[in-house]
Amino acid sequence: MTDQPNQVRTRRAILAAAAAGSAAVAAQAVAPLAVRAATNGNVILGQSNTADATTVVASTTSTVTAFLGSVTDGIGVYGHSTDNTIPASSSAGSHRTGVVGVAGDEPLATNNTDETGVYGYADISAASTGVWGDSTKGTGVIGTSSDGDGVYGEGLFGLDGYGAIGVYGETGAPGGAGMHAVADNTATALYAFAGSGTVGAPPPNTAIYAAAGDPTATALQVNGKVKLSRSGRKPIGKTATSLKVVMAGVTTSSYVVATLQTSVTSCYVRAVVPASGSFTIYLSKAPGKTVYVGYIVVN
């Protein structure tokens, strides 16, 4: 009987067929067999291997890599879980994880990592890192989601005397940024919420939206200098009683605060009137000398 083109055979069967004679060898050359390694058999390179138990590759030398995947144009290591069943409870073991990487005390790693492409855990020292992404010319780590969180960070324990940190960003490069958030004119780049309760969706076309869920919470606190591009300090001449300041984005509903920065008896800021693209500061009288006014445009 001749072999079928896609017949699955064991390693032992192949060796026996090779010893049967030149006719069998010729038949195999015409129609090569698909080979797979069975449980307790050898792994066949370049072929699909199946087993009903875990395959372990271990190195007895501490400086030797146990398993290395390398390719010139493709994927070095690919892990895929095809299980799409829903676990009975959240305490059930993981069954739907593509790749699990652990460094240190494995029993302390999360037991259930269901629905995770890559899970990393490290518990060797305070410098341990669960997942590390590094690039000298591109992006170290990218997280995307079409209907959820691209990157989610949660701090569970304090570090170096500080509270827990969900996401930490740092840079030492001139002109760099520890964290960079970008959004188009329909969204908010950075959304920060404190307190209890719920706050609606952040406003569109906003770089940073800070919200407090209740009156006891603080939406924004700054410890140090604050620089505002829509604030300034300008002179008013000794005979002038007003000053017009041109500023893009100002409207008739803008809120502008201005104060006199030079002391002149009975001279003060009488009014600030916003207009489209500008606002005018009015004094109570001509100061008699050059004075300075400071202003802040809130909206």
DSSP notation for the chain = -PPPTT-EE-HHHHHHHHHT-HHHHHHHHHSPPEE-PPTTSPPPTTS----SS------SSTTS-S-----SSS-S--------PPPSSTTSPP-SEEEEEEEE-GGGS-S---SEEEEEEEESSTT--S-----SSS-S-----SSS-SS-----S-BTTB---S------STT--S------TTSEEEEEEESSS---PPPSSEEEEEEESSTTS-S----S----TTEEEEEE-TT-SEEEEE-TT--TT--EEEEE-S--TT--EEEEEEETTEEEEEESS--SS-EEEEEEE--
Of the candidate ranges 3-17, 133-147, 247-261, 282-296, the one whose mean pLDDT is the lowest: 3-17
Higher-confidence residue of 248 and 79: namely: 248
User: What pLDDT does residue 28 have?
Assistant: 45
Using a pLDDT cut of 90, give the percent of the chain over it.
32
User: What pLDDT does residue 87 have?
Assistant: 65
Tell whether the model's pLDDT for residue 59 goes beyond 70.
Answer: yes
User: What pLDDT does residue 100 have?
Assistant: 85
User: What pLDDT does residue 18 have?
Assistant: 47
| Band of residue 57 on the pLDDT scale cut at 50, 70, 90 | confident
Q: Which of 14-18, 189-193, 214-218, 228-232 has the highest mean pLDDT?
A: 228-232
In DSSP terms, 157 is beta-bridged to: none
User: What pLDDT does residue 7 have?
Assistant: 45
Q: For residue range 64-102, what is the model confidence (pLDDT) as tens digits?
A: 888 888 889 888 888 888 877 776 665 566 668 888 888
Q: For residue range 24-53, what is the model confidence (pLDDT) as tens digits?
A: 444 444 444 445 667 788 888 888 888 888
Higher-confidence residue of 104 and 295: namely: 295
CB 234 within 8 A of CB 245: yes
User: What pLDDT does residue 202 have?
Assistant: 87
Of the candidate ranges 153-167, 217-231, 248-262, the one whose mean pLDDT is the lowest: 153-167
User: What pLDDT does residue 58 have?
Assistant: 86
Tell whether the model's pLDDT for residue 230 goes beyond 70.
Answer: yes
Q: What is the mean pLDDT of residues 100-108?
A: 80
Tell whether the model's pLDDT for residue 12 goes beyond 80.
Answer: no
Tell me how far apart the alpha carbons of residues 236 and 285 are, in angstroms, rounded to a whole number. 11
Q: What is the pTM of this model?
A: 0.63
